[in-house]
Amino acid sequence: MGLFKSYPPRPVPRPALWRISMVQCLAWLFGIVVLAWLWPEYAVSFWWGGLVAIGAQAFWIARTLKGFGDPHSKGFLTGATSGLIGKWVIISVGLVLLWRNQPDLSVATTVVSVFLLNTLAALTAPISIARPR
């Protein structure tokens, strides 16, 4: 008598991962302004480190979303894993290339900028990805 009602399957909405990059970009720009005002010699290093971090995060997001919604988890896990590995390869190679080709950059500032932006992304991800109820 209608105890079990079938509903058509609905696609799972993609998480708004772009919000992570938006938060990173806002923090990055704020950091550049503060450094340009207080310690201008470090602003360029923060600029380049931030570009590497945000570029790597964008790669991870693209790879993760590529397999999102796959009926089997294999496609999603493969994309997320390859995206994570690629993200850290981009960061490692990007920083080494920066330091090699731009000897006037501060190594400490570029590492700190990458660390801070990635930590910010990890901390804000659960909040920015959550769907409103």
Predicted TM-score (pTM) of this structure: 0.80
Do 27 and 122 contact (CB within 8 A), yes or no?
no
What pLDDT is stored for residue 100 in this prediction? 95
Rounded Cα distance between 111 and 118, Å, is 11
Please report whether residue 9 resides in a domain.
no
pLDDT-derived band of residue 15, with 50, 70 and 90 as boundaries?
low
Rounded Cα distance between 18 and 3, Å, is 41
What pLDDT is stored for residue 40 in this prediction? 93
Do 111 and 94 contact (CB within 8 A), yes or no?
no
Rounded Cα distance between 47 and 79, Å, is 28
Please report whether residue 49 resides in a domain.
yes
Total count of domains within the chain: 1
Do 21 and 55 contact (CB within 8 A), yes or no?
no
Please report whether residue 3 resides in a domain.
no
Question: Which tokens belong to 25?
Answer: 């970009």
What pLDDT is stored for residue 44 in this prediction? 95
Kindly report, residue by residue over 45-81, the tens digit of the pLDDT.
999 999 999 999 999 888 887 767 666 677 778 888 8
Instruction: Please give the single-letter amino acid code of residue 20.
Output: I
Please report whether residue 6 resides in a domain.
no
Rounded Cα distance between 36 and 31, Å, is 8
Please report whether residue 13 resides in a domain.
no
Please report whether residue 53 resides in a domain.
yes
In which domain, by residue range, is 28 found?
A: 18-129
